[in-house]
Amino acid sequence: MTLQRLNQFEYFINRELSLLAFNQRVLELAMDEQLPLLERLRFLCISSSNLDEFFEVRVGSLKQQIALGLHPSSPDGMSPGQVLNEISVRSHALVEAQYSLLNTVLIPALKREQVYFLRRTHWNEAQRTWLSDYFDRELLPLLSPLGLDPAHPFPNVINKSLNFIIQLHGTDAFGRELNAAIVQAPRVLPRIIRLPADIAPSSDSFVFLSSVMHAFINRLFPGMDVEGCYQFRVTRNSNMYVDEEEIDDLLKAMKGELAHRNYGAAVRLEVAEHCPLESIDFLRSHFSLAEREVYRVDGPVNLNRLMQVVDLADRPDLRFRAFKQGLPLLREGAHRNMFARIRRRDVLVHQPYQSFAPMLDFLDQAARDSKVLAIKLTLYRTGKNSPLIDILMRAARAGKEVTVVVELRARFDEEANIDLTSRLQQANVHVLYGVVGYKTHAKMCLVVRRDEDGLRRYAQLGTGNYHAGTARAYTDFSLFTAHPGMTEDVHRVFHMLTGLGRLHGLRYLLESPFSLHGALMIKIERETGHARAGRPAHIMARLNALIEPELIENLYRASCAGVQIDLIIRGICCLRPGIPGVSENIRVRSVMGRFLEHPRVYYFLNNGEESLYCASADWMPRNFFRRVEVAFPILDPELRQRIREEAFALYLQDNILSWQLSADGSYQRNHCADGELPLSAQDALMQRLGEDGSGGMLQLSASPTMH
């Protein structure tokens, strides 16, 4: 097989279309009757939220490329215009499936479980009276009708906000003819309203805000006839564009750019299904959108707001069973000394099956320990009210040298990171914003302590962010180590980030943008050499995304040489498995479920001298060449074996919540074969690592083994 053959377009899947396929799999979870009903509603909301971000970021970028006359080459051979055409077809089908599922399956099923969504056409007199009073008391004071005439131009419409276009007949207070108005629903208003139990069919009875608005909107236009009221929502390009080479203060520039995010170019218009064509054309023209960018919906224009019902409904029987996270060895003992424990042996934590608490304990002990002299940490996402920030501030006020590298450009967390930066600086923490032109995405923490035998470094390295919320919802690995060589490497990476000097001589860590891509290419080529020589060769990877074309080409070569390749990729995969003569030795599966699969793990058999790395980096161009990333080896053989089982063996056996990628880019759901025991990887890990083995998603007929 030649390189020229590998470059043919048919060997690569388009990344945007692969991302849409991922969202289709999320929707399939909402369709899965094995899952609890409210959790199915949650997955529907997630699919809606994912589609929002897809339009805000990916579609926004494609439209901007076309506007600028750019036609970047892509391994799959599709132009931005061709991709947008296909996105339109698939997105319309996806949206239609979302609303069909809501209206014909989930709402009726919830009704059978005494969870009601009451449409305004079905309100009784008591309900209408209560909602009428609610409108006058809670909504009317906050609403501002905006008539459309030469003195009142079309208002600014905020990204993803709920709005109504009103068709009117009559004259206003000044005798002028007025036929249209806009009403914007402030974001402080709840999109779901719970009815009092004494006038509702159950204590879990809800009404959409849009229904209340429709019912009483005429009160905003006294003396005029409201002939129509139709909800609409605009999605805008939310990419932030800061020319880092031309600015003096990144923090100041980011603050300025945040104000513009809500008013980027429109990329999608959602309107009520029964909205007249005249009004749709008016809105479409105002937002400069094509017909294919209009989405008619039969229900609320923002399905993600239904997430409130998942939390409001008092029905634990319709949710996943409660799960109690396991406590790793670091938390054992009433008077535990985490530094002594880590010094004895590396410790591995597998979140969320095991608790995130050891990370907070690690920093808290460091902040309180008089022997600790310095703490260094990278922050990509951490949340607005993170206890981790309070610990770092307390450590700095105690006189310790605290340095935090904050990534201000973490998408959709920019505002939170700007706020925490100000808090840290006020506590005399040394705050840096990383490297101009390169996002700092590595997850590293380093503590320098004066032990009895001299200065010693302790490090934590992870695949996920220091965010207590996502640590309960995302699967990730976290390693605590005092290995001198590993911690020396971590210290050197911090020196590079803070001092910007050249990075030389890393012995254990692989780091982007310098060594990671090249090292992976070499390791893949080494497996290829083993296979050609008849020696055992095996590559496995757990990733969120596989996009980088050179690495994909190298995997194809390895497959042709006979290397067995198993890829577990949650989202985007641009590699086509199973092509005869190219990738017949490559298998790609996606595993999904209660928790968001997030770890990055790379495994190479290497003729029995296996190597396994956990990392912050997916196999994408941005992770290899435009970010600071770290991959760290698992040196302890027992921990390496544990990750092989927990990250790969279970997931390759999952026959309940897994999908297999075909050469044509489609995904097929895996099912139990006759006589085969059902196995959910996430359930098995909850049973094995959870404190009491509770909280599984499904009822398994037998407890699966990990051997």
- Which residues are annotated as catalytic? 441
* Nearest residue to 465 via CA among 352, 573, 361, 329: 352
Contact 403, 498 (CB under 8 A): yes
Token pair in block for residue 597 = 């699969």
Q: CA-to-CA distance for 26 and 55, rounded, in angstroms?
A: 17
Q: CA-to-CA distance for 55 and 92, rounded, in angstroms?
A: 12
Q: Tokens 């503590």 sit at which residue?
A: 447
Q: Tokens 């590079």 sit at which residue?
A: 496
Q: Where are the alpha helices (DSSP H) in 259-312?
A: 277-286, 307-312
Contact 614, 463 (CB under 8 A): yes
Tell me the C-alpha to C-alpha distance, in Å, between residue 425 and each of 50, 400, 403, 466, 668: 34, 14, 10, 19, 51
Q: Which residues of 633-659 are buried (b: 16+ CB within 10 A; e: fewer)?
A: bbbbeebbebbbbbbbbbbebbbbbbb
**Region class of 299: left (phi > 0), else alpha (psi between -120 and 50), else beta:** left
Extract the runs of DSSP E, i.e. beta strands, from 195-253. Answer: 204-208, 225-236
| R_g of the chain computed on alpha carbons | 27
φ/ψ of residue 203, rounded to 5: -75, -10
Contact 585, 564 (CB under 8 A): yes
Tell me the C-alpha to C-alpha distance, in Å, between residue 393 and each of 358, 414, 416, 417: 18, 20, 16, 15
Beta bridge partners of 454: 451
Contact 464, 542 (CB under 8 A): no
Q: CA-to-CA distance for 442 and 627, rounded, in angstroms?
A: 8
Q: CA-to-CA distance for 326 and 357, rounded, in angstroms?
A: 10
Helix (H) or strand (E) holding 100: helix 80-101
